[in-house]
Structure 1
Amino acid sequence: MQLKDIMTKNAKCCSADNTLEEVAGIMWNDDVGIVPVVDSENRLSGVITDRDIAMAAFLKHRPIWEISAREMIGGHSCHSCYAEDDVHEALRVMDESRIRRVPIVDDKLHLVGMVGLKDLANHAVSKGPRKSSQLTVNEFTDTFRHISKPNELQATA
């Protein structure tokens, strides 16, 4: 099954000029923990998570209304998948990058949706005839365990 079949379409996004306060407002109003950052042509530039905002507030010693999304995404890579990719590709990207959500783009890198662990879990346990391209519950739980494992600094604290 392709990611376009399980992704959340019309994901809320922001521009690099938005402040972290505005991004936090999007998260609050739409009950999401990640906001993709796009350019003027809706091409994916990066993402900001709720954790990114908390860490910026702590480490930059500045109010979040003074910190732009541009500051947060500059120089960082952004993992994404294509809408036509198989669901296993999103699971692979999440597993290797230890991320819980991944932006979905088209062939011109325009943001077209988001896929999170919830979407993959729902797909893995969906009822009906099982297809060879469907995730198994074991594939999903193995990835979830790996993503959720504390990093070395957290494990030793």
Structure 2
Amino acid sequence: MTTAADLMHEGAQWVTADETLEDVARMMRDLGVGAVPVSGDDERMCGIITDRDIVVECVAAGRDPSQVAASELCKGTPRWISADAGVAEVLREMQTHQIRRLPVIDGDKRLVGMISERDLADRLSEAQIAEFVAGVYAR
């Protein structure tokens, strides 16, 4: 059975809630990613920040990214998936919550990877990709 661990790209990193958006943006650039999970004081995920969040909710709003903490953009309940979850569960989680990036955690609740649309496109059948697209974008 194909699992979330088989779909994900490894090496995902997170930022702490008190890091500035300027630092988060640099990290995204250096890692070549468009989203990073955010951890709270308890070292648990409290959200995800995307490059779009930084542009729309900070820069376009006239705010200084060097003065805005990552925690200010974390909204809602963070979504994640267990590394041993099957493909159907991964797709269901992403479709149900209409998300395009999904953090993957191991049994110790440590971040071990991320699943993005690109990962799905690289590893799933055309039928599975069509199902994903219909579920996330057709609403």
Q: What TM bracket, shorter-length normalisation?
A: 0.7 to 0.9
Distance 1:118 1:23 in 2: 21
Distance 2:135 2:89 in 1: 16
- Report Cα offsets for 1:30-49 as digits up to 9, x if no partner: 11110111246753221100
Equivalent pairs, count: 137
Establish whether residue 139 from structure 1 lines up as the match of residue 128 from structure 2.
Answer: yes
- Counterpart residue type for residue 82 of structure 1: S
Q: Whose RCO is larger (CA < 8 A, sep 6+)?
A: 2
Which position in structure 2 is the counterpart of 1:76? 76
The percentage of aligned residue pairs carrying the same residue is: 33
Gaps of 5+ in 1: 125-135, 152-157
The correspondence of residues 1-157 of structure 1 with structure 2, limited to 5 A, is 1-39=2-40, 42-57=43-58, 58-59=60-61, 61-73=62-74, 75-124=75-124, 136-149=125-138
Gaps of 5+ in 2: none
- Report Cα offsets for 1:74-93 as digits up to 9, x if no partner: x5211110001002211111
Q: How has the CA–CA distance of structure 1 residues 122 and 146 changed in structure 2, closer, same or farther, with 3 Å as cutoff? A: same
Q: TM-score, normalised by structure 1?
A: 0.77
- Report Cα offsets for 1:121-147 as digits up to 9, x if no partner: 2221xxxxxxxxxxx422212322442
Q: How has the CA–CA distance of structure 1 residues 141 and 85 changed in structure 2, closer, same or farther, with 3 Å as cutoff? A: same
- Counterpart residue type for residue 148 of structure 1: Y
- Counterpart residue type for residue 62 of structure 1: R
Q: CA RMSD in A?
A: 2.0
Distance 1:42 1:87 in 2: 27
Larger Rg belongs to: 1
Q: How has the CA–CA distance of structure 1 residues 109 and 84 changed in structure 2, closer, same or farther, with 3 Å as cutoff? A: same
Tell me if the contact between 2:17 and 2:41 (Cα under 8 Å) persists in the aligned partners. Answer: no
